Structure 1
Amino acid sequence: MTIAQFQKIFVISLPLRTDHRDAVSLAAALTGLQFEFVDGVTEVSQRALPPGGEQLGLNSGALGNWRAHMNVAQMVVKEGISSALVLEDDVDWDLRIKSQMQDFAKASRLLVQPLRGTADAYLDPTHPQPSADQQPSSFPVGEDDPTVEPTTSPYGDLDRWDLFWIGHCGSRFPDANNTNVPIGRAVVGNDVTVPEPQHIRMQFGDRQLVDQYPAHTRVVSRARSGTCTVGYGVSQNGARRLLYELGVHNLTSTTDLMLRTLCDGVDGRRLLTCLSVQPQLFQHHRAVGSKASYSDISEHEEEYNPQAFTRNVRWSTRLNFEKLINNETDYLDLYKDGEPALDFGFR
């Protein structure tokens, strides 16, 4: 098992992006992670598209991204893998990712496991659906866990969750207007791996995290309005659902926006049990150089990026390569407490 008990870690990567493969291989080795590359896809036959796909007009990058994620889901299903973490190859994470994932596991159990001594009573009073006048409750993550001890996964038993959207470009909290999911929140307080509010960039999310919670707070909730497939955990049942909904049933948009419909339970998709975390645990790394090299899925301007960065990740593994290789421990932190925010632009 790897990184707090995912059975496998897969990294989707085009073989021609040797720069991405070099960097993610080094990052994983330096933080004690083991993974398997899954080749990205550059050509998709129109005949192989699910219903609706031929009418979308998606570019080759978006279609290749969709097919690569379906190939991972297919592998998880075919090989009977109990759970997997799926990452894209421009990903970065904090040097303390293992302890962060342990905190995420404690948080997720509070939201998906029933209370001890029961089979169907939950800590969240809005489970399974909130009424219109209910407000979200916050549950502190600590040593006292009142829920049933899981036996098949530290994140909660595998039959209780489908997808953990923990690497994204923005996510939101559900509220009582989203009456199809519980709205409780598990709160990791005093988390020194979280930047102060002036440094946090929500991108496609909103400001609830920075406006409603103290500095150094990370919050886990049901996923809502997620964007980007930087990284997600999937159970065997979740992979089957992904493969059916996105690979067989119909193709309606880009991969991340289809995941959103599943986690939000909209546009005719049956609702998955998805959790998300703010700020995210996995994020795109932006290297020095032309912004056009950022992605093989969508176009970026040719403008030059003069400073490498990873949003919302304090001790970036990639930014600390040299220190890690030289066994130095004075790690680079772009988001030091008390310092003004750096402006890296939207992308």
Structure 2
Amino acid sequence: MRLAVYGASGYQAKLVLAELSHRSLDVVLVGRDAERLRQAATTVGLADHERRTAGIDDHGALVAAFSGCDAVVNCAGPFVDTGGAVVRAAIDAGCHYVDTAGGQRHLKTVFDTFAGEAERAGVTVVPATNDGCLPVDLIAHVIADRVLSIAGITTSHVIVGGGGPSRGSLRSALRTADALTTGGLTYDHGEWHTGLAARHTSVILPGTSEPTAMARFPLAEVVTIPRHVPVDHVESLVEATLSARLGTPLSAELIDTLPEGPTEQARLGQRFTCVVDATSADGRTTRGLVQGTDTYGTTAVIAVEAARRLAANGAKPGVLAPAQAFDPADFLDFLTAYGVRWSIDADHQP
């Protein structure tokens, strides 16, 4: 099994490479700058692994760089600008594809543009294999298997600590500032819409008795969940204070002066909570809960495992949501070894 990592010298990519190194998997590091690739390989203990250079605007070089690999992990953002080129090259190289993206616009473009090409090539494309979308998408499917008729799903995300976003995350926020300020897409009655008001503005989180203020936010699961769960409405929320911070992006010049990303100590002190509230047609709520630490480290584990499963076991060709490509409960159970806890409360009282 051979896995390629594109954008291999970036902050998130180096965590992906470290995870691959821990598992002793064969890796090809791919990126635009040979010296930065060399430094990244040395940093994570992969100095003896192959490195290939390919720019995002050179389709032939990208295809050649992915040639002979079983799957590609794309970590090169902002994905709204670069993701499509890497997806197309992976398909043409006959490689399965995953990425660490979280933006709705990139995801919807991948689904709308590449589904047919991937299916014809026998390639599986699974975007947004990250700490938020993948476990939330999976647990929504587990809930749907238990609840006969779901009218609406609201996902709520809260992150405490962690030392702040990486430079890559901040650049992506800057590139998609319009979606951050408007709240992005909401799924409603068979279509994705912009500009819809959130049905919920607060949530009572586990272990609390008072509601936490929330704001609509353009998260990836709004694009993925309706593809495998029969549901009328899906919206995504984050804690209102986080939404306000990210909705006022920093300038490109200021971002360039910041640290590459949070320190390991800061990441390990982070706590994240993802809540999936599914309301049935008769008004009852079933709550799914995912909790863990270290969003960037968890994303690395998830992306590597998703690529490994595609390379080892395959999946239906085409562009798929995580729950369409992987066994939901099995993948969630796998993550428990990495400190991710999940549960479902069928009798939740909102």
TM-score class, shorter: under 0.3
Question: Where is the helix percentage greater, Structure 1 or Structure 2?
Answer: 2
TM-score normalized with structure 2 length: 0.28
TM-score normalized with structure 1 length: 0.28
Question: Where is the strand percentage greater, Structure 1 or Structure 2?
Answer: 2
